[in-house]
Chain A
Amino acid sequence: MGKTNIDENVKWTDITEGGNIYERGNSSEFKTGDWRTSKPIFIEDKCKQCMLCAPVCPDSAIPVKDGKRLDFDYYHCKGCGICAKACRFNAIEMVKE
């Protein structure tokens, strides 16, 4: 849990006035992955680490570390499927959520 403690169980007595946020740089803490209806599956065996997928993700939901892509960030991935289209090696498969 991050700085803002955005928590779906918060009671009305404990929530901030008008939803005001008293911190900066915290939009990544807002879980948007639950909007998804289909989900990309990363098939690591087929992946050549060509890096065609990560830059086209509109939600930066493909983390890259040391020149290699990692598994999806499902906290923010909305299942748009652009990465699966971009992949030349069938290393991303879209399935129903």
Chain B
Amino acid sequence: MAIRERMSGNEAVANAMRQINPDVIAAFPITPSTEIPQYFSTYVANGKVDTEFVTVESEHSAMSACVGSEAAGARTFTATSSCGLALMFEVLYIASSSRLPITMAVVNRALSGPININADHSDSMPTRDSGWLQIYSENNQEAYDNFIQAVRIGEHEDVRLPVMVCQDGFITSHAVENIELIEDEKVKNFVGEYSPKHYLLNPEESMSVGPYDSTHFYMEHKRQQAEGMINSKKVIMEVAKDFEKMTGRKYGMFESYKLDDAETAIVIINSTAGTAKDAIDILRSEGKKVGLLKIRIFRPFPAEEIAKALEGKLAVAVMDRAEGFSSCGGPVFAEVRSALYDSLNKPKMINYIYGLGGRDVKTQNIMEVYSALDEIKNTGDIGSTYRYLSVRE
């Protein structure tokens, strides 16, 4: 029987880590992800896990320790947020190009500056090209479920890439909600043992990791790395299928909410999807055909699948909780709009920058977005494609 509990997103992820009992965790505290290594250190102190917990002096060191440990053959986790993730940036590329399937909990928080500790996606979005898989979570349950699945996805022999599992700072990480935990043994069996083919601590084989790659080889390595990302789509769906068998909870590349017959839709990532679902329920009760596409997997980007799901809609708003400063929209918008380029029946599409630095998003705000989409639907006039939601003007 599944365990009914109530806990925050941070505690949920820490519990997933405890149940998996990894070989190594190397982490440095930063708001709002601090609780994850904090909870975990109590599990270590209380003997609930036999993980080697490495306390480091910075996030650059945390990720470097993770690279060393994963290369040694140890299943390795970490957690971070915001400027911590930014400080890891250099080493993120080392991890992915060395094909080290580290699993990292990212608790999304605004990047400085101005300095701010609240939720937005300006920390994980710049890392979208780092070669890590990115999985986003609407609530504590998804953060927990995604973390467990992420370990198997990244370590799969056809993928062998690191994975970050993201959730919104404070909104998800600190709000206590109901959750259904899986039994420890079931989690352990689901994830299985980590047995890489090559690893530094193998007494039977000498190995060098991370040698200089001259111009004759670098491009071949990047192409090979890209193949891991391409392969990961299939693996993500296989792992989701097995996870559904175990828990009854279904996951895909994205979640559609009342999207099939919708005329207008919004595309969103993480916790605001919950708010949007409430707004949709209200609007649906008024007879409005509105829907939602919540992206779960941003890397690899499910372009074809998203295009198929949005084809034929009349107007779509893509929501970005990060400024890309391109002066023409955020990163999610750029990718979603590009995904629809080859569609014959593509919707009119606008972008909203929203929720920066923890700016609250209410159902009323989401309904404003649907009103804007209605106007585009009715007048055929798209207006500005690059908009801000709830900014004082």
Contacts and interface: CB of A to CB of B under 8 A. Distances in A.
A22 B211 CA distance: 11
Interface residues of B, number: 23
Contacts of A21: 207-208, 211
A45 interface: no
A17 to B, nearest CB: 4
A10 B208 contact: no
Nearest to A9: B216
Contacts of B225: 18
Contacts of A24: 206, 208
Contacts of A13: 224
B97 interface: yes
B98 A20 contact: yes
Interface in A1-46: 8, 10-13, 15, 17-24
B207 A18 contact: no
Determine the main DSSP class of A at the interface with B.
loop
Nearest to B160: A17
Contacts of B160: 17
B221 A18 contact: yes
A76 to B, nearest CB: 15
Interface string B195-226: 00010000001111111110011011101110
Contacts of B99: 17-18
A7 to B, nearest CB: 9
B217 A22 contact: no
5 contacts: A10-B220, A12-B220, A17-B224, A18-B97, A20-B208
Interface residues of A, number: 14
Contacts of B216: 8
A11 B216 CA distance: 11
Contacts of A20: 98, 198, 207-211
Interface in B212-252: 212-213, 216-217, 219-221, 223-225, 227
Contact of B198 (A11, A12, A22): A22
A22 B213 CA distance: 15
Contact of A18 (B98, B219, B227): B98
Interface of B: 97-99, 160, 198, 205-213, 216-217, 219-221, 223-225, 227
A19 B205 contact: no
Nearest to A6: B217
Contacts of B221: 12, 15, 18-19
A91 to B, nearest CB: 33
B209 A15 contact: no
Contacts of A17: 98-99, 160, 198, 224
A12 B223 CA distance: 6
B26 to A, nearest CB: 20
A74 B304 CA distance: 52
Contacts of B217: 8, 10, 15, 19
A68 B67 CA distance: 47
Nearest to B197: A17
B98 A15 contact: no
Given A10-B217, A17-B99, A17-B160, A22 B205 contact: yes
Nearest to B218: A19
Nearest to B206: A24
Nearest to A8: B216
B157 to A, nearest CB: 11
Nearest to A24: B206
B92 to A, nearest CB: 14
B209 A18 contact: yes
A38 to B, nearest CB: 21
A23 B206 contact: yes
A15 B207 contact: no
Which of A19, A21, A24 has the largest number of chain B CB atoms within 10 A?
A: A19
Contacts of B219: 12
A8 B198 CA distance: 23
Contact of A22 (B206, B220, B224, B227): B206
Which of A8, A13, A20, A21 has the largest number of chain B CB atoms within 10 A?
A: A20
